[in-house]
Amino acid sequence: MTSSSQAGATATPRLLGLGVLAGPIYLVVGIAQALLRDGFVFAKHPLSVLANGPGGWVQTANFVVTGLMVIAAAVGFRRALAPKSRAVSWFLGTFGASMLVAAVFRADPMDGFPVGTPNGPPTTISTSGLVHFAAGGLGFVSLAISCLVAAWVMSRRNVPSLARLSLLAGLIILLGFFGGMAVPNSSPVLGIWIAVVVGWTWLAVMSRQLIRAEVGR
């Protein structure tokens, strides 16, 4: 094996390792802020509103760091699943890019957070809030499509456990993010929380399994 091929073989597991870590980092940093900052209520607020108010830079940095980690993991997916599975990595990379956009255009304050914000949903939406929401929608759709394409890929590779996991994750992400908005008198935040946790879990499990496959070659 040449030095360049050795470097490539080492780089792929490292890139995939960022996919294992991205979700836990995002959730730990986000939940820690939610517990420490006054006015945040898990049943009412998504983590994205933490970018507002004093200390909001922490959540902005969280978006940037984990978004870059997802993009790096997408490169690892492309290497591990080459040559006929590019769609998985492209859609996963789009999810990562959407997080960078969400970092630049922060969500509007809402429903009592930060402290001093009127209770209830916002009556207007700013340009930044609109772009953030659009980026979030595109990101979750892209992540769900990445899961669904991965289900097909894993089925073709005769890995039924990952195929089922990917299919289920993709459907839950779509239903979680959009279902709460479509059901009257329901809380869309709960669905978003479910989509976030399931999406990060899928990425970690898939990345870990692909690392094992790479190391075992």
Per-residue model confidence (pLDDT) at position 188: 76
Q: State the Cα torsion 185-47-139-108 to the nearest 10°.
A: 80
Give the separation between CA 199 and CA 193, rounded to whole angstroms.
10
AA identity, residue 199: G
Cβ atoms within 10 Å of 181's Cβ, excluding its own: 11
Print pLDDT tens along the chain (217 aa): 444 445 556 899 999 999 999 999 999 999 999 999 999 999 899 999 999 999 999 999 999 999 999 999 999 999 999 877 889 999 999 999 999 999 999 999 999 999 989 988 778 899 999 999 999 999 999 999 999 999 999 999 999 999 999 999 999 999 998 876 655 555 678 889 999 999 999 999 999 999 998 876 6
Per-residue model confidence (pLDDT) at position 184: 55
Q: What is the CA radius of gyration of the chain?
A: 18
Give the separation between CA 141 and CA 147, rounded to whole angstroms.
10
Give the separation between CA 16 and CA 14, rounded to whole angstroms.
5
Domain assignments of the chain as residue spans, ordered by start: 12-215
